[in-house]
Copies of this chain bind each other. A is one copy, B any other.
Amino acid sequence: MYYGGIEAGGTKFVCAVSDEHQQIIARTKFATTTPNETIIKINTFFSEYSVVRMAVGAFGPIGINPDSQDYGYVKETPKKGWQHFNFLGELKKIFHIPIVWTTDVNVATYGEYKMGAATNKSSALYLTVGTGIGGGLIYKNNVFQNWNHPEMGHIMVSPMHKDKYTGNCPYHKSCLEGMASGPALEARANQKALTIPKDDPLWNLEAFYLAQAAMTYTLLYAPEIIIFGGGVSNQEQLYPLIRKSFSKQLNHYVDTPKLNKYLVHAKLGDDAGITGALLLAQNK
Q: Which residues of A contact B (CB under 8 A)?
A: 61, 123, 139, 144-152, 154-159, 171-172, 174, 212, 215-224, 249-254, 257
Contact = CB atoms under 8 A, between A and B. Distances in A.
Nearest to A140: B146
Protomer copies: 2
Contact of A147 (B146, B154, B171, B222): B222
A146 B123 contact: yes
B219 A152 contact: yes
Contact of A158 (B61, B156, B252): B156
A139 B146 contact: yes
The 5 closest A-B pairs by CB, nearest first: A148-B222, A146-B222, A156-B158, A151-B219, A171-B253
B150 A222 contact: yes
22 contacts: A139-B139, A139-B144, A139-B146, A146-B222, A146-B223, A146-B224, A147-B224, A147-B257, A148-B222, A149-B222, A150-B220, A151-B219, A152-B220, A154-B219, A155-B216, A155-B220, A156-B216, A158-B158, A158-B159, A171-B253, A172-B249, A220-B220
A108 B218 CA distance: 22
Contacts of A212: 156
B253 A154 contact: yes
Given A151-B253, A253-B171, A221 B158 contact: no
Contacts of A249: 156, 172
A151 B254 contact: yes
Contacts of A253: 151, 154, 171-172
Nearest to A174: B158
A125 to B, nearest CB: 10
Contacts of A224: 146-147
